[in-house]
Amino acid sequence: MTPSEILAAFRALPLHRRYDAMRMACTYALEVWDRYAKAGEPVLYTDGVVGLQHVVDMRLPYRAIEAVDRKLAGDTVDAKAIWDAYREPITALQDGDLDFLDDIASAYYAIYNLFGSVFGLCKLYDEGEIVINQAYAGDGYLEEWWTRTWDAWASRGDVAYAPSELDAPTFDAIAEGDLARAIDRCPQGTRLHAVLLALAHRKREAVAIAARALGLDEDAWLDRNVGRVAASDALVVGDRYYAAICGRRYVVRAVEGNEKRMSGTCGFTIRRVAMSPALVIFAGDDTDHIGAYKTILVGDELHTADHGYRAEHLGTRTIVALGPKAEVVAASEREVGVLTNSGYQRFGEGRVGGAAFDQHGDYLCTYAGATFTLWRRAKLNRLVEMDLDAEIWHAMFAGNRLVLARKDGRAHVLSLALIK
């Protein structure tokens, strides 16, 4: 491809992919800035308005790139401090009070414009081509940049989920209201098997299977909560309705009588489903021909003809929990956080391999390996952090109990009433 063909192909990309390509171009700009920052003395300049002397923050472009990377990875990032820090040096550059060599100034502007564009703080009227040109790194740059961009997309890991217990034939039986066929078709001895038995009012069998699958003792509280405790990521039970998902399809039926409330498809792959008293909530990821690029939440009203709501969050995430208030927890190697419609709640540092919300959204349990943490939502604080003797594979709340199923076939049960 010629340089003009490459730039035309870049302009034709959808916005989320142009951001990726602009970020790859700024790899070259950051290399230029890095050589300059490491080789020189502190850079001083005096603004022409009030005559104050300033020191250039040489770390600012690094912080901007780090924030862009987090944003494109799906994190919610507060951009204000970085954007405010850019105000004075950008004004000084434009007024001539700060003078960089041409290649240094161009690299500085490339990172600044990338940051402003990704965070919606400035408008680039050329589809972002200015960033590509400002990051220019000599002959052959465009061809190398375009190749590296596509290589990065080709090698990027996609969202990863364990196979669902609910396969298409079992879902079809549930969608048709045939619980008996769904029970016969589903994997025997699983959580899914237990909850289907409970929905068919075969409680004694359901409790026995749930107890074996989760490593629990059969007792009265399990009998009362077997539907919720045994519910899988593909089938959840609320007070009046239960919902099942498979690929892009869903069905919602009444717990009593099994009457169908709604069914249909979403325009994305559904990964998690949750129930609130008024909504059935779906969360998943949308993809293009390159891969997944954003997380989507859809809520449908259970009791009215309203259409509910829809929220989209740029970035790929492996969703490990969906709460009854349309809140998402994603797998992470660095921090615990909840993505909400009003922003990102950061709880603290730590790995997240799985998570569970309680029925009312007051508590959150996160776990990775054999370590789990119980969080109080309102105060964003740790109530309990503990290492168990075996790796955790599932967590769930039942009434005032937190149940942690372990891979050694046993369960750890924690009473919330005993936690101050």
State the pLDDT at residue 406.
95
Is residue 298 exposed (0-12), middle (13-18) or buried (19+ Cβ within 10 Å)? buried
Q: How far apart are CA 196 and CA 262, in angstroms?
A: 18
Asked whether residue 158 carries a pLDDT value surpassing 70, the answer given is: no
Between residues 177 and 15, which one has the greater pLDDT?
177
Asked whether residue 411 carries a pLDDT value surpassing 70, the answer given is: yes
Residue with tokens 């954003």: 294
Q: How far apart are CA 50 and CA 411, in angstroms?
A: 68
Helix, strand, coil shares of the chain as percentages rounded to 5?
Answer: 35, 30, 35
Whether the predicted model's global pTM rises above the 0.85 cut: no
Average pLDDT rounded to a whole number, residues 23-33: 95
Q: How far apart are CA 182 and CA 177, in angstroms?
A: 9
State the pLDDT at residue 361.
83
Between residues 170 and 41, which one has the greater pLDDT?
170
One-letter amino acid of 224: R
Average pLDDT rounded to a whole number, residues 8-37: 93
Q: Please, are residues 190 and 208 in contact by the beta-carbon 8 Å criterion?
A: no
Go through the chain and tell me how many residues it has: 420
Between residues 66 and 292, which one has the greater pLDDT?
66
Q: How far apart are CA 253 and CA 255, in angstroms?
A: 6
- Cα–Cα–Cα angle for 174, 178, 179, nearest 5°? 75
State the pLDDT at residue 420.
61
- pLDDT tens digits, one per residue of 117-151: 999 999 888 889 999 999 998 999 999 999 989 88
One-letter amino acid of 269: T
Phi, psi at 221, each rounded to 5°: -70, -35
State the pLDDT at residue 53.
83
Residue with tokens 């078709």: 185
Please, which pLDDT band fits residue 407 given cuts at 50, 70 and 90? very high
Please, which pLDDT band fits residue 157 given cuts at 50, 70 and 90? low
Q: Helix and strand tally (H, E) in the chain?
A: 12, 21
Average pLDDT over all residues of the chain? 90
Domain ranges of the chain: 3-155, 327-420
Q: How far apart are CA 13 and CA 17, in angstroms?
A: 6
Average pLDDT rounded to a whole number, residues 311-326: 85
- pLDDT tens digits, one per residue of 357-383: 988 888 999 999 999 999 998 888 899
Asked whether residue 344 carries a pLDDT value surpassing 70, the answer given is: yes
- pLDDT tens digits, one per residue of 199-213: 999 999 999 999 999
Q: How far apart are CA 45 and CA 99, in angstroms?
A: 8
State the pLDDT at residue 286.
84
Average pLDDT rounded to a whole number, residues 22-35: 95
Asked whether residue 78 carries a pLDDT value surpassing 80, the answer given is: yes
Residue with tokens 């919610």: 76
- Cα–Cα–Cα angle for 380, 340, 21, nearest 5°? 115
Please give the helix or strand (H or E) that residue 69 lies within, else none.
helix 60-72
What are 298's two structure tokens?
């859809």
State the pLDDT at residue 31.
95
- pLDDT tens digits, one per residue of 38-56: 887 788 888 876 778 888 9
- Domain 327-420 CATH assignment equals 2.40.10.480: yes
Asked whether residue 156 carries a pLDDT value surpassing 70, the answer given is: no
Q: What percent of the chain has pLDDT over 90?
A: 61
> What distances in angstroms separate CA 223 from CA 207, 290, 399, one per listed residue?
6, 46, 12
Q: How far apart are CA 396 and CA 228, in angstroms?
A: 8
* Residue closest to 195 by CA, chosen among 255, 247, 126: 255
Q: Output Rg (C-alpha) for the chain, integer angstroms.
A: 26
One-letter amino acid of 5: E
Q: Please, are residues 395 and 403 in contact by the beta-carbon 8 Å criterion?
A: yes
What are 255's two structure tokens?
């717990």
State the pLDDT at residue 306.
77
- What count of other Cβ atoms lies within 10 Å of the Cβ of residue 357? 23
Q: How far apart are CA 418 and CA 173, in angstroms?
A: 42
Q: Please, are residues 228 and 396 in contact by the beta-carbon 8 Å criterion?
A: yes
**Would strands 392-398 and 381-387 be described as parallel, antiparallel, or unpaired?**
unpaired
Average pLDDT rounded to a whole number, residues 403-419: 92
Residue with tokens 């325009």: 267
